[in-house]
Amino acid sequence: MAALLRALEWQVAAFEKGDRPDYDVVGAALDYFQSFPDAHHHPREQLLFARLRERDRKAAEGVGDLGLAHSELAARAHKFAAALHAVLEDEEIPRDSFVRLARGFAGLQWQHIEMEETAFFPTAERVLTAMDWSDLDAMIALDADPLQDEKFDELRRTILRWQAQDQAVAAPP
């Protein structure tokens, strides 16, 4: 997801400068964020969070309202998708409005990832027992990440190419 967000941010930066972004990449990234998390990732997190709340309500409260966070992510993705649709249909939408919606979407995604990595998952690892994890594994079917599906082949190749270019630029001579 981080690589996908970076690719999206690169395209938004191009749009902001007045260049033409790769709308296929932007659309595919947005499609991914509208389909995969709500169908696969967030339901798993909700099960994990429910178990965490059963074990240690105070620790779960420290993580925050995961369901609300997921709803906000979905709403922000919907707004960004509407703005992208408007741009693709040549509707009048100020460039700065589109950029603001895109950056707001990406920013909220980054915040959510940060919360998961620094609060949610470490708290779950600390609080849940081996039996909890075993039970959760049995309840949660591990579907393949759709970024591996044919539908996202071009997006995946583009991201990998950009990552390689970005690493080449960042590497010392």
CATH at residue 55: 1.20.120.520
The phi, psi pair for 141, rounded to 5°, reads -75, 130
Contact 132, 76 (CB under 8 A): no
The model's pTM is 0.80
* Cβ–Cβ < 8 Å for 54, 128: no
Residue 111 lies in a domain: yes
Which tokens is 59 given? 């620790």
User: Residue 170 falls within a domain, yes or no?
Assistant: no
Q: Is residue 169, in this structure, part of any structural domain at all? A: no
Q: In this predicted structure, what is the pLDDT of residue 44?
A: 86
Give me 108's structure tokens: 């909220």
* pLDDT tens, N- to C-terminus, the chain (173 residues): 888 898 899 899 999 998 999 888 888 888 888 888 877 788 889 999 999 999 999 999 999 999 999 999 999 999 999 999 999 998 988 999 999 999 999 999 999 999 999 999 999 999 999 999 888 888 776 555 555 566 566 666 766 676 666 666 566 65
In-domain check, residue 46: yes
pLDDT at site 77: 93
Q: Which bin fits 72, alpha (ψ -120 to 50), beta or left (φ > 0)?
A: alpha
- The per-residue pLDDT for 81 is 93
For residue 109, the model assigns a pLDDT of: 95
Query: Is residue 113 domain-resident?
Result: yes
pLDDT of residue 163: 64
pLDDT of residue 142: 57
Residue 47, burial from CB neighbour count under 10 angstroms (0-12, 13-18, 19+):
middle
The answer to whether position 63 is within a domain reads yes
| Total domain count, the chain | 1
> Residue 78: which domain range?
2-164
* Interatomic CA distance for residues 142 and 164, integer angstroms: 29
Q: Is residue 81 part of a domain?
A: yes
* 172 within a domain of the structure (yes/no): no
Number of C-beta neighbours around residue 20 at 10 A: 8
